[in-house]
A and B are shown apart, each in its own frame.
Chain A
Amino acid sequence: MDVTELHEIDRPTGPVAAAILATGIGAFTLGLLTTLSEASENVHDFLEFSDDVGPLAGKTILAVVAYFASWAILHVLWRRDNRALRPILVVAVVLVLLGVVGTLPTFFQAFAPE
């Protein structure tokens, strides 16, 4: 994939970079909180924003907040810039993959206290 072609647009690439990176941040936050919740009882209890839903409530709310908040902040910061998209794409892909690994039970259950 020739990433330079992504810059062939008569608008700034900053908003594209912001949206891509925010997706990585949201996914990574979800994976990180999932693993931390398993590893630490304090984190697990903190994430129980709802008794009915349990810690999944906190994990998903915070991940969605991280996603939209980082998107909004990065969009405001980069809206008129032409950001290089290749490094942003690489970082975002790595963050999404780490997020997927963090949500994989085989991975996060390995951090459960004995």
Chain B
Amino acid sequence: MEFTSRETWTLIHGLVLGTFFLVAFAGGLAGLWSLRREYVTDAGIVERLRRLKIGTTAMALAAWATVITGTWIVYPWYREGLAGDDLSGCEGLSVPGDECSPRDFLLSNASGTTEDWHKFGMEWKEHIAWLSPMLATLAAFLVFYYGASLADNRTARRLVLVVFTAAFVAAAIAGLFGALITKTAPIT
């Protein structure tokens, strides 16, 4: 059992960083939700706030790392033009190959009607993913700036929750399309 360099980077981009992002989101969400004066003591707020700062920072860093590796390492392999203008290099194939990149393969409709996976799925994924790190960074900044007052300030806590969840939704859209596109046209 072995992975090519491209498969390894695809795994790092989608699975390793994606999982890290998910765990950080789950932890951050639970931490934010329960950071209320009526639930915890002063000492508890200090401890929870420390975890919240770590969680939101980790999520922001994971989001930046995911979009940077995705755009600058994995995406060039996806979009290589290998099959020619008429995409004839993909003829008869059931998966992308040496003369047919994943993008060529999807656009060629060589194995069913697949072009919309590129024209809608990939086109949206590659752009909307970049909103996630901006929103996640904002959420982390708000946690650091409001600090312990988040426990008393319900509106500030809700604002962080909304921004934090929006960052997750943007990443989830990108991640879902990424998984489905990789299933249809894997990078090997």
Which residues from chain A sit less than 8 Å from chain B, CB to CB? 1-6, 8-11, 15-16, 19-20, 23, 26-27, 30-31, 34, 50, 52-54, 56-57, 59-60, 63-64, 67, 89, 96, 99-100, 103-106, 109
Contacts and interface: CB of A to CB of B under 8 A. Distances in A.
19 contacts: A1-B159, A5-B155, A6-B153, A10-B149, A16-B142, A19-B138, A19-B145, A23-B138, A23-B163, A30-B127, A30-B131, A53-B72, A53-B75, A57-B71, A64-B130, A89-B159, A99-B131, A103-B128, A103-B131
Contacts of A1: 155, 158-159
B79 A54 contact: yes
Given A6-B153, A60-B130, A105 B142 contact: no
Interface of B: 67, 71-72, 75-76, 79, 119-120, 123-124, 126-128, 130-131, 134-135, 137-138, 141-142, 145-146, 149, 152-156, 158-159, 163, 166
B120 to A, nearest CB: 5
Nearest to B141: A19
A23 B134 contact: yes
A105 B156 CA distance: 34
